[in-house]
Structure 1
Amino acid sequence: MVSVCITAYNHEKYIAQAIESVLAQKVDFDYEILIGEDDSPDRTRAIVSEYHARFPDKIRLFLNSRENVVYINGRVTGLWNFYNNFHNAKGKYIALLDGDDYWTDPNKLQKQIVAMEANSDCTICFHDAQMLMDNGAVKPYLSTLGVKRKSIYTIEDILFRNFLPTGAVVFRNRFIREIPEAAYQILAGDWFLHITNAQYGDILYIDDVMSCYRVHQQGLWTSLGQAGMIKEKIHIYKIMDRFLSYKYSDLIRKRLADCESELIRLKDSNHA
């Protein structure tokens, strides 16, 4: 019924907790765990291999080579690993989890699949999460981002900004079988994925906190810095505009203007 796709790289300190949080799920359906390990220099590969040996009927392990790594503007990404899991997923639904995050509710999958089965017009389901900062502080994810809660979101909402915590997302395994070329040009693979799926249905929100998202400087997006993140958003919007055949150009043009204004304000504040 469900393929839980975990991507892992340099997650030695976290990956066991991520896997255990999936194994702890209480469900009345079958699920598989796909772990894509991107040839980490730390002990991540050894740890996931140990789990695979312990749970061979539950865990499918993909030990990737660095030769498959996708680069964007000279920066190493985990995109090949991310999408390779989807290529191999057998479930009707796919649940996402990064190897440095974890689920906090053993009923998470059950709640989301029941909700998706009851809402056939929705292609994505997500919930709120807690943000665990480097200093140990915990913040509410959606409130911290300033996202207004509602039961249904649309492609216009997710185009405006990516507000879905990766580990909170379940989506129907129908629309991502063939990965378009544009997907490998965007650093934020999860954002592209959500936009792609949201073309075909709504985004269902469950008002519950059921996962933990770690915020640390080793994260690819965080490591860009404020200016780098804004520039990457501009790059993403331009690619998404072409990918969506300019159907949402009015919204995208407004977001591009907002990003350009943010860059100017940031540059002015740095010179002050």
Structure 2
Amino acid sequence: MDKPLVSVILPTHNRAESVAKAMESVWWQSYNNMELIIVNDGSTDTTGKIISKLSQENSKITIVNNKNNLGIVASLNKGISVAGGKYIARLDDDDIWCDDEKIEKQVIFLEKNPEYCLTGGGVIAIDRHGKEIARYLLPEKDEDIRNAILINNVFAHTTVVFRKDTFQKVGGYDGQFIFVEDWDLWLKMGSIGKFYNFQEFFVSYLDQEYDNPYHYRNYKIRRNVGLNIKLRKKYKDGYAHYSKAILFCWISYFYSFIIFRKELWPVIFQIRKLIFGSPPYKYLHNNESFKNEK
């Protein structure tokens, strides 16, 4: 089989301490027909020097420089606009691909199954010291993904590989859905093709929230409530469980204000299962304080 080009898009902003490791993990892959596009989003630390040095050592690296900090959506769209690959892979500047055959597995699957447009996989969450916190897998089959995707974002952004032509057909990432731009993209893509999640762990993900999980998670839930409702309304006719999705959004919002939520979690979790069914995530968790909460 001829190996189609895969374009890896890695936006970065002031991540001098981690961006080199993220870049290195790309070249650990068994799949060798790749290009790496780094979008330096107005970094003011030594990130620019680090990525410039690494690009001089590898002709497969392209750097796109934003003079000012444009944000994740503009940076992703800009990076993909110069990508030459048939497929697009995503990686964040503080994450590492931990399966050396990740890209190969996803490309083979997409080449054999042209009706599919998007693939993802499982995540190993780590803290800033590299200690494993948790592992989780997401729904595997298209039917199960569609059944859950309006309630939960069931693709981990830095695990995905998708078709560039599908991305272009749906208009790319939408700036009005900042913070949930990936979720919006998946929902758009689902109108064209099918979904698949490998039941394997593809990425080591730095969980920035681990040291204070409740405070930051509460903040995100409250910050995003309007966007989450808007997103679900946009796709209510294309996916199942719209009413449950809106209810889940509001319950999560009000739940974020509960002071003793950790102590109440066992009861809340059983109520949640009764209303929404079991969470779509398969967890192996070392921290019970936020098990099944994502």
Q: Secondary structure at the match of 1:160?
A: coil
Q: Measure, in 2, the Cα distance between the counterparts of 1:151 and 1:249.
A: 15
Letter in structure 2 aligned against 1:63: N
For residue 202 of structure 2, the aligned residue among 203, 210, 224 is: 210
Q: Measure, in 2, the Cα distance between the counterparts of 1:168 and 1:6.
A: 12
* CA deviation map 1:10-61 (0-9, x unaligned): 2111111111111222226x221111111212211111111111113x0111
For residue 52 of structure 1, the aligned residue among 48, 52, 55 is: 55
Letter in structure 2 aligned against 1:26: S
For residue 40 of structure 1, the aligned residue among 38, 43, 54 is: 43
Tell me: CA distance 1:224–1:192, structure 2 relative to 1, closer, same or farther (3 Å).
farther
Tell me: CA distance 1:247–1:36, structure 2 relative to 1, closer, same or farther (3 Å).
same
| Counterpart residue number, 1:240 | 231
Q: Measure, in 1, the Cα distance between the counterparts of 2:44 and 2:124.
A: 28
Tell me: CA distance 1:175–1:85, structure 2 relative to 1, closer, same or farther (3 Å).
same
Do 1:15 and 1:44's aligned partners in 2 also have CA atoms closer than 8 Å?
Answer: yes
Tell me: CA distance 1:182–1:107, structure 2 relative to 1, closer, same or farther (3 Å).
closer
| Counterpart residue number, 2:251 | 261
Letter in structure 1 aligned against 2:44: P
CA drift at 1:87: 1.6
Give the 5 Å matches for 1:83-232: 83-142=77-136, 147=138, 149-152=139-142, 153-177=144-168, 180=171, 183-186=174-177, 187-217=179-209, 225-232=216-223
Tell me: CA distance 1:224–1:59, structure 2 relative to 1, closer, same or farther (3 Å).
farther
**Superposition CA RMSD, Å:** 2.8
CA drift at 1:88: 1.7
Tell me: CA distance 1:207–1:265, structure 2 relative to 1, closer, same or farther (3 Å).
closer
* CA deviation map 1:182-236 (0-9, x unaligned): 8111122222222222222221122221221111159xxx898233322344323
For residue 6 of structure 1, the aligned residue among 6, 10, 19 is: 10
Tell me: CA distance 1:18–1:181, structure 2 relative to 1, closer, same or farther (3 Å).
closer
Letter in structure 1 aligned against 2:185: L
Q: Measure, in 2, the Cα distance between the counterparts of 1:27 and 1:198.
A: 26
CA drift at 1:151: 3.7
Do 1:134 and 1:215's aligned partners in 2 also have CA atoms closer than 8 Å?
Answer: yes
Do 1:182 and 1:239's aligned partners in 2 also have CA atoms closer than 8 Å?
Answer: no
Do 1:237 and 1:252's aligned partners in 2 also have CA atoms closer than 8 Å?
Answer: no
Do 2:125 and 2:207's aligned partners in 1 also have CA atoms closer than 8 Å?
Answer: yes
Structure 1's consecutive aligned runs of 4 or more residues displaced over 6 angstroms after TM superposition are none
Do 1:124 and 1:171's aligned partners in 2 also have CA atoms closer than 8 Å?
Answer: yes
Give the structure-1-normalised TM-score.
0.82
Q: Secondary structure at the match of 1:35?
A: strand
Q: Measure, in 2, the Cα distance between the counterparts of 1:189 and 1:217.
A: 20
CA drift at 1:138: 0.8
Q: Secondary structure at the match of 1:131?
A: strand
Aligned residue-pair number = 254
Identical counterparts, % of pairs: 22
Letter in structure 1 aligned against 2:65: L
* CA deviation map 1:164-198 (0-9, x unaligned): 22221101112222775981111222222222222
| Counterpart residue number, 1:74 | none
Instruction: Return 5+ residue gaps in structure 1 as ranges.
Output: 70-76
